[in-house]
Structure 1
Amino acid sequence: MNYLDIIKEFEGFESRAYLCPAGVWTIGYGTTKINNKPVKQGQVITQAEAEQELVKHCEQVERDILQLVKAPLNDNQKGALISFVYNIGIGAFKNSTLLRLLNAGDFTGAAEQFARWNKAAGKVLPGLTRRRAAEKELFVKED
């Protein structure tokens, strides 16, 4: 499973804006902004538009990650991080132990950190637990 498959599977596609478990208006494949504007109640999107937004957002997430991660990453590690940061946001990643461990060259320790990010609004969510397991599996997989 690649990172786009992980994102699509765990975000799911919604053509109409909805409030996610963290209370943020979301649409498409977990998108909270369309053309840099926050998603609003009542907004609608096609699946093709959602896929374009997903790819565009992932490209930005990758650029953001590569500015922060100093350790060399293989494609699977990069993909796992794109899915992870797509979900938690670059601000949370920037201050994470996962990033600190990566930059220290502790890939095993960094991989173990995925499981800690399974909560939304303080509650453990089974879907996030499964997503983090899928991201970790991709992260540790040989290219």
Structure 2
Amino acid sequence: MSPGLRKLLISLTGASALTIASVMVPELEGVRYTPYRDVAGVLTVCYGHTGKDIIPGKRYGQNECEKILSEDLQPFSRAVEQAVTVPADEYQKAALISFSYNVGISAFEHSSVLRYLNAGETEKACAGLRQWIWAGGRKWQGLVNRRDVEYEVCHWRRSQP
């Protein structure tokens, strides 16, 4: 994790999981103002936004991308809140919001990450994040890096940064 991101996330102690995730996701996704195909071939723009509303060839602005991200994160935050049935701190939930934003709600809801967490096996749940490093049939260093950050954030409350 970059020192800048670490410092920013630490400063959010006491913030909601959604607020923490809204800082993590742009760092982990990066931003592209023109639509492109991601590693799995999915049309994508801004901070990893996918969907039928993307206009190929359009140049999106910074404010537009921030608004899209804010709207995009809402269902992932709700999914984490509904799916996690055991006490979890805001950093753990933020890591799960970031994870689900990347893999999709259905994949998150059916993942061993969630099963382990809800079974009270927090270490196995956090470690399970690191298994999700494949896209389009191959391992991606970008996903390895992302999962390392999510893993670290998943542990913060217990180990304090």
TM-score, normalised with respect to structure 2: 0.81
Q: What's the CA shift for 1:101?
A: 0.5
Which of 44, 47, 56 in structure 2 is aligned with 1:29?
A: 47
Q: Counterpart of 1:16 in structure 2: which amino acid?
A: T
Per the alignment, residue 4 of structure 2 pairs with none
Matched, 1:130 2:148: no
Unmatched runs of 5 consecutive residues or more in structure 1: none
Unmatched runs of 5 consecutive residues or more in structure 2: 1-8, 10-19
Matched, 1:10 2:28: yes
Matched, 1:19 2:37: yes
Distance 1:31 1:12 in 2: 11
Q: What's the CA shift for 1:47?
A: 1.0
Per the alignment, residue 6 of structure 2 pairs with none
Which of 86, 90, 113 in structure 2 is aligned with 1:75?
A: 90
Q: What's the CA shift for 1:104?
A: 0.5
Runs of 4+ in 1 over 4 A off after TM superposition: none
Q: What's the CA shift for 1:38?
A: 4.0
Q: What's the CA shift for 1:10?
A: 2.3
Distance 1:53 1:70 in 2: 28
1:42-53 aligned at under 5 Å gives the runs 42-53=57-68
Matched, 1:111 2:126: yes
Distance 1:43 1:100 in 2: 40
Q: Counterpart of 2:34 in structure 1: which amino acid?
A: R
Task: Report Cα offsets for 1:61-89 as digits up to 9, x if no partner.
Answer: 11011111111111101111111111000
Distance 2:85 2:32 in 1: 35
Distance 1:16 1:10 in 2: 18
Native 8 Å contact 1:16 1:27 kept in 2 = yes
Worse-matched range after superposition: 80-89 or 8-17: 8-17
Distance 2:103 2:63 in 1: 24
Q: What's the CA shift for 1:4?
A: 2.7
Distance 2:114 2:53 in 1: 27
The percent of aligned pairs where both chains have the same amino acid is 36
RMSD: 1.4
Please state whether the residue corresponding to 1:85 is helix, strand or coil. helix
Please state whether the residue corresponding to 1:72 is helix, strand or coil. coil
Q: What's the CA shift for 1:55?
A: 1.4
Distance 1:90 1:76 in 2: 18
